[in-house]
Amino acid sequence: MPDTHARKIITNFGRFAKQYGEQSTLQQAVAQELLSALPKGTTPKRILEIGCGTGNLTHLLSARFPSAHITATDVTPEMLHEVQRKISNTSHIETMHLNGEDITPLQGQTFDLIISNMTVQWLDDIQGCYDAWQSILAPSGTILTSRPAENCFPEWRNSLAHCGYQSGLHPFQSTRGKISHITIPQEYGSTLNFLRSMRTTGAATPHPDYTPLTHSQIKHAYTYCDAAHNGRITWHIQIDMIKN
């Protein structure tokens, strides 16, 4: 690790790191929902963020828990550079280059809250990672994550199926710990705008066994999707929580 597919994911996110903050309004909205899911009275002293991106959730965590020490991690160096640029004068936040599938560098440490916003869907074995993260979770600590749910983007999925094309979306992984499901309809104006937004946030890497569609096939599918749904694409988000 990282294997060839993982390197593609890292490269795509790195390519668009500078513009990620402007393009990731959906991820920012989900970050707010994620924090709202924390049990009342949660006051972590040490927080580990997996997949911090450019720091959207990091700043929310810092504002909500100003006395906590936050370790913000990401596997993409360009993303970490953006976070470091934003927090240069913030002493209680540190950054670390880390793959969430290998927490060996953190062994011996414990965290009261391990949190990840719209990242774990890229992991090969989400449940295996949850189990590993519990090994560095403090007693009574919490793991809290958000990710696309099984039925995310139904309009696009159904349009591809109607046109006879395979979806490149990564297969959904079932895990324990699901606590809520959030539905967020988004008006993109056109399906092509939706596809472009996925690309410009680095999130367009298909699953490794996918055979890419031709330009004419993509046009066929998004033209059908526009006619059926007029540029609306619905995000379905799952929030998982695991407690020690």
Which DSSP helix (H) or strand (E) runs through 172? none
pLDDT of 1 reads 42
Q: Which letter, b or e, does each residue of 147-186 get, where b requires 16 or more Cβ atoms within 10 Å of its Cβ?
A: bbbeebbebbeebbeebebebbbbeeeebebeeeebeeeb
Collapsed DSSP state (helix, strand, coil) of residue 219: helix
The pLDDT value recorded for residue 168 is: 94
pLDDT digits (tens, 9 = 90+) for 2-20: 567 777 776 767 766 666 6
Helix/strand/coil (H/E/C) assignment for every residue in 18-52 = HHHHHHCHHHHHHHHHHHHCCCCCCCCCEEEEECC
The pLDDT, as a whole number, for residue 22 is: 64
Instruction: State the pLDDT confidence band at 23, using cuts at 50, 70 and 90.
Output: low
pLDDT of residue 205: 84
pLDDT, tens digit, 9 for 90 and up, residues 95-142 = 999 999 999 999 999 999 999 999 999 999 999 999 999 999 999 999
The two three-digit tokens of residue 64, written as one number: 């909500």
Taking the C-alpha atoms of residue 75 and residue 222, their distance in angstroms, rounded to an integer, is: 32
Closest CA to 35 of 93, 121, 113: 113
* Reported pTM: 0.92
Mean predicted lDDT score pLDDT of the chain? 91
The tokens for 170 are 């990564």
Alpha carbon separation from 39 to 140, 153, 155, 183, 237 (Å, rounded): 12, 29, 33, 21, 19
pLDDT of residue 125: 96
What gap in Å lies between CA 244 and CA 242, rounded to an integer? 7
Residue 47: pLDDT band (50, 70, 90) is: very high
Can you list the domains of the chain with their CATH numbers?
Answer: 4-150+171-183+236-243 (3.40.50.150)
Q: Which residue has the tokens 């379905």?
A: 236
